[in-house]
Structure 1
Amino acid sequence: MGNNIVGNVEQIITPKLVELGIELVDIQYTREGGRWFLRIFIDKPTGIGLDDCQLVSESIDPLLDEYDPIPHAYTLEVSSPGLDRPLKKPADFARFINENIKLTTYVPVEGRRRFKGRIIAADDNSVHLDVQGSNIVLTMEQIASARLSPEF
């Protein structure tokens, strides 16, 4: 049920986000403490502020009411993905070339599933990481999850 709802919500809100010049980073639909939450994570090249979150919330709330993809009460939350934003699409990896990431694979690659390194190249099919001086190439199909890992 959750994945279908996420897919439906994505189809409903994406055209509005594109119109607003906002990137959809992720959608989470989850139950916590007996309450349902629909979390929309957004970004744009100049970063996301509170005004952007409010604008998106006010823009998509009527669409969600009209199409009613969720059959019960829920709380809508719109926010920035944070400094450790997830990387999900090939374009995400390409956008953040030269940035540090933490990445997990579905199955071991070179004897391990967790990698921390710098993106040195990315295309529609693969990501090249510099992991402590070694070039590791992973296909998109191998990647279970990836997040930016900013260093301060």
Structure 2
Amino acid sequence: MRLSKKTDLIRQAVQPAIEGLGFELVDVEIKREGPSQTLYVYIYKEGGVFIADCERVSQEIDPIIEELDPISDAYFLCVSSPGADRPLKTPADFRRAMDTEVEASLYRAVEGTKHVIGTLAAYDEEAGTVTLMLEEGGTLLLQQKDIARIRPYIRF
């Protein structure tokens, strides 16, 4: 089974349990790390995700995943918050990031650059567009298909 099919299968199986505990399922990834694999399940909750939350979700979804058995080799299950600099992938990610600074890496240069920082001003799921307000003024309309990665911008 292809990796994307495995993650989709896992996502569909664990999402109701995660939502039943009051969390949002953000993403599911399977990564090979050395000789073993790790199944990452990223969750979100308004106000933050704590270690006890991760433990509770892990205990709830582990039997579901075991019964499903989508990963034939041994693996580790890691339930985590997606982190402050996680890429924006879902419509919910874009809604949460509205009116905050983001940085976008583009597949091709737009207005002479492949890296843009701006405030997320609009997201249109149907049109597949993202609008950024630029620091230097003006707006930039980007097609989602042209964005390699977009994530919150963290100033140091």
TM-score by length of 2: 0.88
Number of residue pairs matched by the alignment: 152
1:121-143 Cα offsets, whole Å, 9 max, x none, are: 22313211122223111122322
Paired residue for 2:132? 129
Paired residue for 1:12? 13
Which portions of structure 1, spanning 4 or more consecutive aligned residues, are displaced by more than 3 angstroms? Answer: none
Residues 4-13 or 109-118, more deviating:
109-118
1:5-59 Cα offsets, whole Å, 9 max, x none, are: 1111111111111212211222221111111111111111111111110111011
Match status 1:32 vs 2:33: yes
Paired residue for 2:50? 49
Report the residue type matching 1:139 in the other structure: Q
Report the residue type matching 1:27 in the other structure: V
TM-score by length of 1: 0.90
Paired residue for 1:140? 144
Distance in 2 of aligned mates of 1:27 and 1:103: 22
Unaligned runs of 5+ in 1: none
Distance in 2 of aligned mates of 1:19 and 1:148: 28
Paired residue for 2:102? 101
Paired residue for 1:75? 76
Report the residue type matching 2:148 in the other structure: A
Report the residue type matching 2:93 in the other structure: D
Distance in 2 of aligned mates of 1:86 and 1:56: 22
RMSD: 1.6
Report the residue type matching 1:127 in the other structure: V
Distance in 1 of aligned mates of 2:96 and 2:108: 25
Identity level (%): 39
